[in-house]
Structures are given as C-alpha cells and as structure tokens.
Chain A
Amino acid sequence: MNSVRKFDARPKLNGSWKFIDDYSDKDMIYGYLYYAKVHHGVIKKISFPLEFDLTEFTIVYAKDIPGKNIVPEPEPDQPFMTTREITHFGQIIMGIAHPNKETLRNFVNQIKVDYDELPALTDIKETLENEKNAFGKEIIIDHRRNFNNSKSWIKTHSVYYTSHQEQAYLEPQGMIAIYDAEKKTMFVKGTMQCPFFVKDAVVQILGNSVREVIVETSEGIGGAFGGKEDFPNIIAGITALLSYKSGKPVKTILDRSDDIQITTKRHPSRVEIETLTDPKTQKIRSLKIDYRLDAGAFQTLSPVVLARGVLHASGSYAIEDSYIQGRLFRSNTPTNGAFRGFGAPQAFFAIDSHIEKIAAELNLNPYDFRKKNIFRIGDELPSSQKIPENHLLDCFEKTIQKSDYQTKYREFIEYNKNNKDKKGIGISLGYHGGGYTGNGEKILNSEIKITIEENAEVKIFVANTEMGQGAHTTLAQIVSETLDHPLERTIVQLPNTSKTPNSGPTVASRTIYIVGHLLRKLSLKIKKELNFENLEKYIKKKSIKFPLEYRMNFVPDPSVFFNEDTFQGIGYKDYSWAACVSEIYFHADSYQIEVKKIWTVLDIGKVINLQIAEGQVQGGLIQAVGYATSEFFYKKGFGRLEGFTDYVLPTSLDIPEMDIEFIHTNSEIAKGLGEIPMDYPAPSIRNAFYQATGIFINEIPLTPEIIFKHIREQKK
C-alpha cells in the first residue's frame, strides 16, 4: 500500500508534459473529419465554397481508401467513411487537410452537403421499446430450474432506463500521422488506450500501400475512460490517409463540440425485470431479465458490452432460478462504445432499483431485505459460476455499519414527516469481473518484456497506456518492489507498436490485474534466474552482454472455461466487490438532489498504491454521481448537445464527502480497480431519493426536469 509518487505529476503540473496537441512540426498540416449533419439519408451533392483555392486542400473520400473501408472491431460493420448513405448523425463523409488551421475551419464551415433525408430513429425509448429494432446476436443465459411456482409468491415487475453518458475526458481526441514516402512507412502518434488496435486500423485502411505502420502514444493522454478505446481507430485511419495522400505530416485534433457530437458514448439501456419473491422467507426465488442496449447505428464493440452487461445483470443476489436475455438495438445515432463499467452500470442500476421495489412491496427495510438475498460463498451466478468468498457481504456489512444506515433510515422517516425538503439514504452493491470476458484473455495472449541495461536501469515494455489512472507508476512499482530495485531506475517505456510487445489494450480493468501480475511473475523469474541480492552490484561484478532481455506471455488457467454459446462457465476468474451507501438532501423547491455523503467499502484484493487506488475510487464515484444526477445528453428540441456548456459535469461545488475503505487487502492478487467505482453507486442515489420522497423513479439521470416530470405523473 506504499503510496509512491507518480513519476509524471510534476511535469504535468508545470505544463511541460506533452499531450497530442502540444506536438508540432513546421511542415505539419491540419486535418479535419467532415461529418454528416443529418441522422439518416443519402448524400445528393457536396458543394465547396468557391472563394477557396481547392488545390491547397487535401481531401479524401471512401473511394480513396487503398485498403478496406471497415474499422476493425469485434463486429466489423462500421466504415471509416461513408460512400453515400448516412445512417447516423456524425458519420464521416470525408477527411480534409490544409496548412492553415483558420482557413481550414472557415472552409469546413462553408461546405454544403445536400441530402435526401429519410425517417430517423433517435429517441432512446422509441428505439428500445420496439423489438423490430433488435439486431446482432442475442445472448441468453438460461439458468431456469423449473420448480413449481407457489401462488403465494409475489410478482414484482418494472422497467428501468438509463441515458447516454459522455466520457468527457478533458483532452479531446487527436492524432498525428507522418508518412515517409521513401521508406513507405506510416508513423502515427496520439491520445489512445490501445496502440495495437490503432495499428490494426491504419493497416486496414492503407492496405498494401505502406510497408510498415508504427503507432506510439503521446507522452500525456488526457483521460479516456473507454472513450479512447475504439474511436481513435477512425481518427488515426483517416489522418493517416490524409498524410499518405498529401505526403505531409497531418495533425487532427477534434474540438470539443465535434468530439462530444460524434464520438462514442455509454449505451442507453432498457432493462425489464420480473421477480418472484417468497414473502415467508423473504427470498427472491425467480428472476427474469430482458436487457437491451441502444448500440447506435453500428454494432462495433457493443456485443462485448452486452456480454458484460448480461453477466452482471442479476446483481449481487443469490437467485437459483433465472433467465436473462440480452439484445442490441439499432438507432440512427452515433455508435456507442466503451465507457468505464462497460454494461455493468446499466445492469446494477436496474437490479438495485428493483430490489428496492420488492422490499417496498413486502414492506421490508432495504438493508434487511438485501441481507436476506445477497449472495454468499457457494451460491451460483446465472452463469453457474460459484461465488468463491463472502467478501461482498463483508463490504456490505461494513458500509452499513460505517454509515450508520439503520439509524439514519429511521431518523429520516421522522424528519421527512415534518419537513418540506427531504432527507434520504440508499444502498447499492456491485462487482466487476477483471480482464476480458470469458475466454478473452486466453485469445489475447498478452506478452510483456523487461530489459536490464548496463547502467542498471530496468525498462518495462508493455502496450498499456498511462492515461491518468497511474498505471505506469503502479506497474513500475510492482517491478521495483519485486526486484528490490530503486523505483526511479525502473521505467515503463512509452507504448510503441514497434518496440513494446502486445500486452493487450488498456481496458477492462486488466492493466494491473493481468499485465501487472505478469510483470510480477517475470520479475520473480528474473530474480531467481540471476540470483542477486542487489541488481546494481550484480551488474558491476558480472561480465554480461547488455541489455538483458526477458519476455513472458499470459498463461491461461486451464480450469477456467467459458462457453460462449450458453454463457455458462467462468465469466471472470476474479471479481472485485463493493458496497455503498449514499445520503442525499432533496430541495423540494428546485427539485434538486444534493448528494451529501457517500460511504463505500471495496475489495480490490491487494492495494499496491493506496493514494492512486483512492484517486481511482474518488474519480469513479463522482462520475457515478454525475451519471445519477446531472449528465443528460439530449436537449429537448435542440437535438444533441454541443459542448460542456450544456452537458452538466460535476464541479468542485457538487462533491459529496467521500468515505472510502479497502478491505481484504492482504491478498496475493491485485484485482480490477479501474471500472468498479463507476459501476455501482448510481442506484444508491436513486434509492436514497426514493426513501426521501417515496417517489419511485425508474430512470437516471435524476435531473430536476426528470424529477419534476415523475412527481407530476405520480400525483395524477
């Protein structure tokens, strides 16, 4: 739990750390992705403004692509650029480049595209209600036990909705591509989570027209949260094509308005739940879930989000009989993608709201009802995976105790009888399977490399990027502590596809859990092989040829098997667990929820750097507060939002007090941490609002407008 300092904090603070827009070159020209401004239609005509000299511009269309016009994705169905048909707002029509940024902007603003517009599906509920809009492969988890339902069991049914959520990384997306015509090489640098995905995309779009593609990250990556998992593929691909055609280095930086309008968001969801509960034992006996995600116009990586969503859909409760159906729905909105949580926040919002509904129907205290039903060691998930430990129960009990939930719950009932403004307290639980789903890690087969240099510097080569989560500090710390070598001489190298082996993408809470674990194993192997007490002394004594190079691949656990057809087996080898309690104050006049305090207890296994881990949880909790209360993506009557002025992110004045604790830290394994803090808190805020007002709202965000709408409807 040694909180060593981050190696990059000081240069980031004084402004010297370089983000993608901070790199320049005298020959560099500026790129722009020109995109459709209609939701659905066919391009009739593109007219360029006459006062510009077109020969100064480089323009690329789909027809100029020498390779394939399909972005490589789990489901490769999205083109880099459209040929004629527009299926969503923001679909890219052409790439344009010019040496002068202002000229480019003026030119772009005056381009006119005429469309034959077609009817479009852009409303979330309209999309998700109609089964005709389902597309792609459906997932069924059938864990039905076909017992005779008792007539005395209580049926509880409800539908839950969540909206889009914008990642809102502070640094907008951007790429630089440099084509070397002599060597026929393409070098791409940018802000990204997955250098090898970007490489695959550039290879795909350029085909055999280049000999080699090298992708490197910028020094700084200004936040990502999943938003820089796959969209960078498109920016890199088109920017590389512009560089290939112009023969010049091209820099494409999305401004915030473009970034917020065209890049991927969290999937809106509709989750329908039906349960049967035995009022005598107060146990949920049966569970049926219909889990739907609005994928946008293309599937891309949505099937993987869907898989994680359904595997987390039953929540934290032991229910022996369950049936879960998961489907993607198509709309004419930009393709949705990865965002911290990856299908789990939508699942937990639904199930932990539903638990509250059952408790209310049975007239039970939410804590008591959860305690009856929370899963315990040996219970089965719908995938038949057995719960290995009672750590979630421990997180739950500890959070309840720390927050003094039971006392407050009673006190607030009294308080609310006599006051116009209301107080509420709510619970939610959650977990997150670390690493890729099912057999994913086996297929990824991550590889890492460590070298020892003559000057006793230990270099770590991984493809995983440092985007603020502290990964490069934590990974260096793991190697430094295992080799017993000074941290300042243990350095993670900048990810570069020609230098770093492919240790997989920086996603799925896998960087420390999978890659960090591999680094630890390799460090132990190095230490054993070289048999040294002190690396520096060892190097001085021995005459060896430097650098010493060590490599290691991921070794799958043979006992881990997952059936991709039935979704039965080990969905994830190790789960992180968490519970939280939120206390809110509801301002009755302004319909505003003020989150006063959040208590949370997590089991993420071994905590390598306590401050970094706390920082991850604090940031995740606040993203969840935004998800639950303020972050709403569509503006009535105006369509999509255009920037931070209308997308309401939590500021320093919206921050509740946070009480965070990690338990069961004496573990050997450092489990997934990145995503879990965003997964589970939102329903606790909804549940607190329910306690405060007695108004059951089945959707988030709980903005004043949405609260007002529900209060008016429920009064009717």
Chain B
Amino acid sequence: MKISFKLNNKNVSINTDPMRRLIDVIREDFSLTGTKEGCGEGECGACTILMNEKPVTSCILNAVHADGNEILTVEAIAETPEGKLLIDCFDETNAVQCGFCFPGFLVSSYSYLKNDGEANLDKIKENLSGNICRCTGYQKIFESVFMACNKCDSNTE
C-alpha cells in the first residue's frame, strides 16, 4: 500500500505493508534511529514521536496511521529552538544517564514546552508520566524541564 505523509517537514511516500509498525518504518525505511524501542507495547515512551503535534508511541501504531499526517521525530525536534534549549538544560544538570529513554523524553518535554510551558513541577511530572526512565530517578529530568520553562518564559517576556 502507498502511504504518504510529512516526516520531519518533508513530504514522503512509501510502498509498504500497512500493518507494519510505524516505529519500524521510521527506523528502517528512513534510518531515523533516534526513535527507540524499549517495550513494544506503548508503555515506556522511548519511541515517542509527534503526530500532528501530539505525542504518540510509535511502537503501537501501524504504518497506515501515518498516512496523510504530519510526523516529527527527535532528529527534527532537536534542531528546533525549543529542542536546543531543552538539550542545553538536560546537559547542564547532567541529567542524561544511559540515554536510551531520552529521545522520548525530549519529544514529550518539547510538546509540553510548546503547548503549556508553565514552570510547574506537578504539571511537568504529569506530562512526562508516559515516559519511563530506569537510571535517573527522574529528579534531574524534572529540574531540566523546569529550567527550560523558566528560560523560555524569560525569552518571551
């Protein structure tokens, strides 16, 4: 089946089995390996991408779900001003450990920063609760996103 969608701001089109997992299409057909498979059942959030600006787990979606939609992966998000700001903050706190879950955290944090962005710990925790991290105990992740929210605020004011 022919599937056409917008991937990282470019129009793309592929011929593939519509039931293939979207994560496999992204990683294998487009070599975008920043999207990681942690659990394969939509539980850990390592494969989070943005579909029409909403965070979704690509391991439980099929190729056909992408058709006609707009997808952003971590590779593109990392190049946006908000993505860069978040990377700076995660770096500053030394939050990253093994890093396998972090592309997913970056996508979810980016979505929070774009859509709400209030420097509010409870809200940050709520918005990141779909991403599991086993290394860090989350504390430095919260601090980083909080820091990014504050910096974003002071930039816009």
Contacts and interface: CB of A to CB of B under 8 A. Distances in A.
B74 A619 contact: no
Contact of A643 (B41, B97, B102, B129): B41
Interface string A177-199: 00000000000000000000000
Interface in A449-475: 467-470
Contacts of B56: none
Interface size class of B (residues with CB under 8 A): 35 or more
B87 A220 contact: no
Interface string B130-148: 0111111111111000000
B101 A170 contact: yes
A111 interface: no
Contact of B135 (A468, A611, A653): A468
Nearest to A649: B132
B32 interface: yes
Contacts of B91: 5-6, 9-10, 13
Interface string B59-99: 00000000000000111001000010011001111111111
A467 B44 CA distance: 19
A14 B75 contact: yes
Contacts of A614: 140
A38 interface: no
A619 B141 CA distance: 11
B34 A223 contact: no
A38 B106 CA distance: 41
Interface in A387-433: none
A522 interface: no
Given A13-B91, A658-B139, A170 B40 contact: no
- Chain B interface SS verdict (over half): loop
A587 interface: no
A169 B98 contact: yes
A10 B91 CA distance: 7
Contact-residue size bin, chain A (C-beta under 8 Å from the other chain): 35 or more
A618 B78 CA distance: 26
B125 interface: yes
A225 interface: yes
Contact of B100 (A223, A470, A620): A223
A157 interface: no
A13 B133 contact: no
B41 A256 contact: yes
B26 to A, nearest CB: 11
Contacts of A620: 137
B137 A658 contact: yes
B132 A615 contact: no
B58 interface: no
A255 B40 contact: yes
B38 A615 contact: no
A368 B41 CA distance: 49
A618 B138 CA distance: 8
Identify whether the interface residues of A are mostly helix, strand, loop, or mixed.
loop
B135 A644 contact: no
Contact of B97 (A16, A17, A22, A615): A615
Contact of B78 (A5, A13, A223): A13
Given A13-B87, A14-B74, A621 B137 contact: yes
A517 B111 CA distance: 43
A221 to B, nearest CB: 7
A15 B78 CA distance: 8
B138 A468 contact: no
Looking at B32, B74, B126, B135, which has the most chain A CB atoms within 10 Å of its CB? B135
Given A221-B98, A619-B97, A18 B33 contact: yes
Contacts of B87: 10, 13-14
B53 interface: no
Closest 4 CB pairs of A and B: A15-B34, A468-B98, A12-B99, A222-B100
23 contacts: A12-B103, A13-B90, A13-B106, A101-B24, A170-B36, A171-B38, A223-B98, A223-B135, A256-B38, A468-B99, A468-B135, A470-B97, A612-B94, A618-B137, A619-B135, A644-B38, A644-B132, A649-B134, A652-B124, A652-B128, A652-B131, A653-B126, A655-B125
Given A220-B99, A614-B140, A644-B44, 5 more contacts: A15-B103, A170-B133, A172-B37, A643-B39, A644-B41
Interface of B: 17, 20, 24, 27, 32-41, 43-44, 46, 73-75, 78, 83, 86-87, 90-103, 106, 124-126, 128-129, 131-142
Interface of A: 3, 5-6, 8-10, 12-19, 21-22, 101-102, 167-172, 220-225, 255-257, 467-470, 609, 611-612, 614-615, 617-623, 643-645, 649, 651-653, 655, 658
